[in-house]
Amino acid sequence: MSLYHETASILDGDAPTGGNLRSRVFNNKDIKSPRGQIYALAVETCKWSSVLAEVVDNSQLLQCERKLTPVLALLLVHDLLLAKGGIALPVSHGLRAAIERHRSRLTAEFTRARIRRKCSSVSALAEHVEALLHSTSKHPRWIRVNTLKSTLDDQLATTFDGYQRAASVQDVLAGPAKLIYVDEHIPNLVAVPPRFDFAKSGAYKSGAIILQDKASCFPAYLLDPQAADGDVIDGCAAPGNKTTHLASIVHSRNQAAEGALHAKIYAFEKDAKRAKTLEKMVTTAGSDGITQIHYGHDFLKVDPADEKFSRVGALLLDPSCSGSGIVGRDDMPDLHLPAAAGTKTQTKTQKSAKVSASKKRKREDDDDAEPEKILIDDDGNTTVASSEKDLKARLQALSDFQFTLMLHALKFSAARKATYSTCSIHAEENEHVVLRLLQSDIAQQRGWRILPRDAQVKGMRDWPVRGQVDFCDGDMQVAEACIRAHKDDGRGVMGFFVAAFVRDGQQDESLVPEIRQVQKVPNQPAYELDSTLTGSPPADQSSSLLSSDSKAGGAGPPELGAGSGDDSDWGGFDD
């Protein structure tokens, strides 16, 4: 099967995997053509489809070439008119011949389409197409200035020279001009209109700027590691956006702490391939001198009592989740189709194309069935939940894993701070995990509590969207301590959740759970945790979710100082 037939199958909705375009391509084991080529062809054809459908219709291509489908026609005409190498088939191939014999008419109609849009050149038409693509976008392009290599002022004077300052994110999205918004919550973060692509800019290639959603910047900024906190662990580090953000903050603290032992970051990534991506990003960002990557090392297998980590005072955990908050993660791009021979012109989105012809034939039998819910985690893995029960089971499994990972983080002997975050909208992965942690024996015996809102670093304290009280057993203070972000709410961010935990006191190794070395058994961990120090407290034991001072409206921990500051974004990952 050719590149064009396989791409058409993906866009027609016949792919065996569900989810968005990326997952349909890269999770499809039946594909023979290079996946990168298929994905690029599909993306570009969808982007240009409103123009190409007009060209195909006006040239009457489908009336002349009855064996072509509307989707195949779009793909082939795209490459004929816009690809540098033309149609990627032998000259004698039937599909190529069906298009090439209409080259003159197709080219003429393409020129007419350009003139109708008042574009003087193909490059001007490309800008017009990009502008239309992003004209209804609710999300700007967020860019973090990497202070390991540059400053905000330097980038405003160079990379963003000619951009006018906007007063709000809404202004950036509404205006056609080159506007830039300097964020009010996260230092060294700016937003520009989504149609401007910086992936080929010198600043991006050198690591001076990093493409990172605003909400993804919350964990490192909320953690706010100080020199006194010692070393830092990023337990789920790839692809590296949060790791490099941490590094920029740690670096600024190291510079300010004269004479003190400089802190380092231990970055763990159990997947070897993703660890290589992490290494590339850390190196490009210039944080390799601060960051020690543990390749293929599972954070859950790290001994919290290991002397190597005796100076770890802060931990950032952003574990695998449902990915339900990521912008565009569950979407397919719009595809404008030309009219099939003898039919009226069609315009449909890929959401309507998800059902294949065979599924349509069964629709009458399935009208009462529950709709499928497709979960695509932050690794791009697709899980289809065919019912609400299946969805709940999947979310509970994720929640249990997230709780286990975070509970492990709270055991490090010198730890004083920890953040927990997800790019999920589900309470099972967010507030429910926080409550379980606060009620755990580990948290209560070691004095861990949630960092209250009034003690959070200023930008996070001022962020208006907080946790949901109903998901916090009615505890308003816990809900206020949790930070949420909602996609499509006008703030231009993805769906996100983060909460910070803190504790007082000196190093207390006596309270670290006993780790008993046991004989290694295949597929079993090399140690066991004392079962009396895990899980929830006894039913008759009251739990204090906030410190007594916090519940009484006191100051709680001293306020943290302001820090300095996952797709083609760093290798195509959203973090």
CA–CA dist 419, 425 (Å, integer)? 17
Is 241 annotated to bind a ligand? Reply is yes
Residue 60 neighbours by CB distance under 10 Å: 15
Is 388 annotated to bind a ligand? Reply is no
Is 359 annotated to bind a ligand? Reply is no
DSSP strands (E only) in 370-482? 373-376, 382-385, 417-422, 449-450
Closest CA to 228 of 195, 260, 206, 196: 260
Residue 453 parent element (H or E)? none
Is 162 annotated to bind a ligand? Reply is no
Is 296 annotated to bind a ligand? Reply is no
C-alpha distances out from residue 236 to 160, 224, 366, 563, Å: 32, 18, 41, 21
CA–CA dist 319, 337 (Å, integer)? 40
Catalytic entry in 217, 321, 423, 472: 423
Q: Residue 395 corresponds to which tokens in the numbers above?
A: 């979310």
3-state secondary structure of 265: strand
Is 298 annotated to bind a ligand? Reply is yes
CA–CA dist 463, 263 (Å, integer)? 28
Is 200 annotated to bind a ligand? Reply is no
Give the contacts of 427 (CB within 8 A, at least 6 positions apart).
Answer: 468, 471
Is 318 annotated to bind a ligand? Reply is yes
Helix residue ranges, H only, 200-353? 202-206, 218-223, 241-256, 272-284
472 is catalytic: no
Residue 460 neighbours by CB distance under 10 Å: 23
The conformation of residue 466, written as its DSSP 8-state character, comes to: B
- Give percent helix, percent strand, percent coil of the chain, each to the nearest 5: 40, 15, 45
Which residue type is seen at 574?
A: D
Is 269 annotated to bind a ligand? Reply is yes
Q: Residue 534 corresponds to which tokens in the numbers above?
A: 């895990």
Find how far residue 198's CA is from the centre of its chain. Answer: 18
**Given strand 141-145, what is the order of strands in its sheet?**
164-165, 179-182, 189-192, 141-145, 209-211
Contact 269, 293 (CB under 8 A): yes
Give the contacts of 556 (CB within 8 A, at least 6 positions apart).
Answer: 451, 452, 454, 455, 546, 547, 549, 550
CA–CA dist 171, 180 (Å, integer)? 9
Find how far residue 310's CA is from the centre of its chain. Answer: 32
Is 323 annotated to bind a ligand? Reply is no
3-state secondary structure of 509: helix
Residues annotated within the binding site are: 236-242, 269, 298, 318
Residues annotated within the binding site for S-adenosyl-L-methionine are: 236-242, 269, 298, 318
Just list the catalytic residues: 423
